[in-house]
Amino acid sequence: MIFSSLIKTKDQLTTLPETATLEEALTVLENSGYRCVPVLDKSGRIFRGNIYKMHLYRHKSRGGDMHQPVTALLKNATKFVSINSAFFSVFFAMRDLPYIAVLNDDNQFYGILTHHSMLRVLAAGWNVNNGSYVLTVTTPDERGSLMTASKEITRYCQIVNVLSFDPEHSPMKQVLFTLPADVDHAKMEKIVHRLQKKGFEVAEIEDLHHGY
C-alpha cells in the first residue's frame, strides 16, 4: 500500500479539465512551470491522462490547431495505480514518468505520486543519513552467501541496511551494506579485509560522511 503522506492530493495540484483547449493547457503549463499536469473529466473525478508541455510546443511549431480540446494530445491514459497498490508494483509502473496518477477505492482520481517522493523513500530505506559507509560486495548468487557476508560484517558492527541487485544473466549479485554512523575508517578497513579474506570482492566503498 502507498503511504498516504507520499501522495500529493488533488486539492494540492494544478489540473486541467478535458474541455480545456490546447492553447489554454499551454498557458497553464507555462505559468505553473510544470512540464505536465493531469487532465480530468468534466466532473473532476476521473483521470483522463497527462498533457505535456513538449507535445504542445511540438504541435504548435508544426502549425497545429491550438483550439483543439486537450484530449487531442493526451498521454499516459492507462498509467495509474490504486492507492492500495503494492510498493514494488508502483515503483515499476512509474519508471519513465515524472509522476503517476493514484486512484482511490472508487477508481476516482485521488492525487499523484512523484519520482521525488519515491526517491525519498528509497533514501530513507538506504539510511544514508544514519550511516557511515556503504560497501558494495560481490557475492555468488547461491544459497547462504548473503548470510555469510552479513555474519562477517556483524563481527564488527550492526548492519543498518541491505540492498541486493541481481544483474541479468550473471552468476554473481551485488549487495550494498550500509554500516552504522559510529563506524570509523579503521573499523571499515577491518571489515573490508575480513570480507576479502573470506573470498568476497568489495567492489566499491562509498563514504557517507561527505556529500549528504
pLDDT at 212: 46
The pLDDT value given to residue 95: 79
pLDDT tens-digit readout, 87-121 = 778 878 887 889 999 999 999 999 999 988 887 77
Question: Which domains are delineated in the chain?
Answer: 4-120 (3.10.580.10), 127-207 (3.30.70.260)
What span, in angstroms and rounded, lies between the C-alpha atoms of 206 and 126? 13
Contacts of 197 by beta carbon, 8 Å cutoff, 6+ apart: none
Is the pTM of the predicted complex or chain greater than 0.85? no
- 150 in Cβ contact with 162 (< 8 Å): yes
Q: How far apart are CA 36 and CA 21, in angstroms?
A: 15
Residue whose entry in the numeric block shows the C-alpha cell 492507492:
83
